[in-house]
Amino acid sequence: MGLIPGRIIPDNLLKRRSTSYLFALLTVIVLPIHVQYLPPLMILWGIFWILENYLRFSMIWDTKKSYRVLFILFISYYIWQAAGLIYTSDIKMGLSNLFGRLSLILFPLVLIFPGEIIKSRAKNLIRVFAVCTFLFMLFCFSYALYQSVNLKNGLWTFNPHPSDFSWLSYFYSSNLTISQHPTYIAMYVLFSVFICIESWFDYSLKFKYRVLWLILALLLIISQYFLSSRAGILISLILVPLYFIIKFREFGKKRFAWLWIILVIIILLPFIIKNQRVDYLYGRLFHKQIGYERKRDPRFLIWKSAFEIARKNVLLGVGIGDVRTVLILEYKRIGEEQMAIERFNAHNQFLEVLLENGIIGLGFFISMFICMFYIVLSDKNLLYGLFIMILFMFFMFETVLYRLAGVSFFSLFSFLLIYINKPEQSNHPS
């Protein structure tokens, strides 16, 4: 068994590190296609990471200080979540939530010191994620077409509406995503759009490949309309123009960028106000008449109920297992029986954290974002910054970390994106 010169690391150790890369590759493939298969991959990846590094956790301290701080914040937040089991009454639900968020410590652990193979190929990994997201959407549209086309009396007919629910469409919302929550897919799609556009601006790639990335980006952004996630559409309308404004400024066209800001505000403002969430807020703030459709969104009642509970449990929250129970009791107290029956969560990740673990847990959670923004600014990592803004905005409308699809997306790319920063010369046209 040979040794690498200057290091006491066996040759076969480097070979096993390729196994970690294999698990990383499988993870970015499985995440957008079928997230339910992700837990065994995470566990195996963690086991092989431990074997590869011979339990030498001290290597974590060889990484950049800001990365270590982010790692410690993730671990501390998860430990504080676990501490919520002490004062929660529903231990079974608390353990279920804690196990469902295991990726909050597994992905940071395997990616704080991932090995040179993953570091050098991180950009390839995120591009694989974007391609797999596109393939999943392609499958969804293909399956919707399959369901819509029927052979009757020797003639092919096209009917996109289910026979029992004529007001629905196979090409719309959860019917399109095959029972997967459209909000999470919308989040994946928007992030993949930015990966594709960044690949278009990667002038180290051949022109034909850059064109393919641009086509993928256009197809993915069009699919946001069919996913019909209101949060997804609203956030896309904000971040996509903002991205191009930033890129124009990078290319030295600052005046043109400011012109874009003015035009984007003028063009998008009517669309943003028409969004049901924004429209509802607009009506409430300016005492405008609120139509029937706007009244149907219960988020303001949910948030009001969550704040009322949080006010009574500011320091520690109600525990990791009791949030849904106390929300249901509050819905019943204010006479919203239907909301209680549907067991609505807080529909805001920051509120959910405040309810679960109080102001201390929320402090850990917000500190993670502050640290990630610091890394973005210090490393000048635009894609990482876009990822954080996507998360932050989706967190305002949904309890994203309630499902594996959200918590794994959050923890995986919070660390993998650290390693994708490109040399400055590859970001500009020659």
User: Tens digit of pLDDT for each residue in 57-76?
Assistant: 666 667 888 999 999 999 99
DSSP 267-311: HHHHHHHHSHHHHHHHHHHTT----HHHHT--HHHHHHHHHHHHH
User: What's the Cα-to-Cα distance from 98 to each of 18, 85, 164, 316, rounded to whole Å?
Assistant: 30, 9, 39, 17
In terms of Cβ atoms closer than 10 Å to its own Cβ (0-12, 13-18, 19+), residue 222 is exposed
Backbone angle region of 252, left / alpha / beta, with phi > 0 → left and psi within -120 to 50 → alpha: left
Contacts of 57 (CB under 8 A, 6+ apart): none
| Interaxial angle between packed helices 103-112 and 38-52, expressed in degrees from 0 to 180 and rounded to the nearest 10 | 40
User: d(Cα 77, Cα 318) in Å, to the nearest integer?
Assistant: 16
For 20-50, write each residue's pLDDT tens digit: 899 999 999 999 998 889 999 999 998 888 8
Query: Reduced to 3 DSSP states, what percent helix, strand and coil does the chain have, rounded to the nearest 5?
Result: 75, 0, 25
Cα–Cα separations (whole angstroms), residue 398 to 344, 349, 351: 11, 6, 10
Please say whether the beta carbons of 254 and 220 come within 8 A.
no
Q: What angle do CA 118, 121, 126 make, to 5 degrees?
A: 100
Cα dihedral sign, 38-411-394-248: negative
Tell me the pTM: 0.85
CA 277 – CA 283 distance, rounded (Å): 10
Q: Are 326 and 333 in contact (CB under 8 A)?
A: no
- Residue 54 confidence (pLDDT): 65
Measured CA to CA, the distance from residue 14 to residue 148 in angstroms comes to: 51
Contact 156, 145 (CB under 8 A): no
Identity of the residue numbered 397:
F
Burial of 193 (0-12, 13-18, 19+ CB in 10 A): buried
Low-confidence ranges of the chain (pLDDT < 50): 1-11, 13-16, 275-277, 281, 285, 290-295, 422-430
C-alpha neighbours within 13 Å on the C-beta side of residue 147: 18
User: Rounded to an integer, what distance in angstroms lies between the CA atom of residue 55 and that of residue 47?
Assistant: 10
Residue 257 pLDDT: 58
Question: CA-CA-CA-CA torsion for 230, 235, 238, 243, nearest 10 degrees?
Answer: -140
Cα 310 to chain centroid, rounded: 25
Report how far apart the first and last C-alpha atoms of the chain are (Å, whole number): 46
Tokens read off for 29: 């493939």
Q: pLDDT tens digits for 91-106?
A: 999 999 999 999 999 9
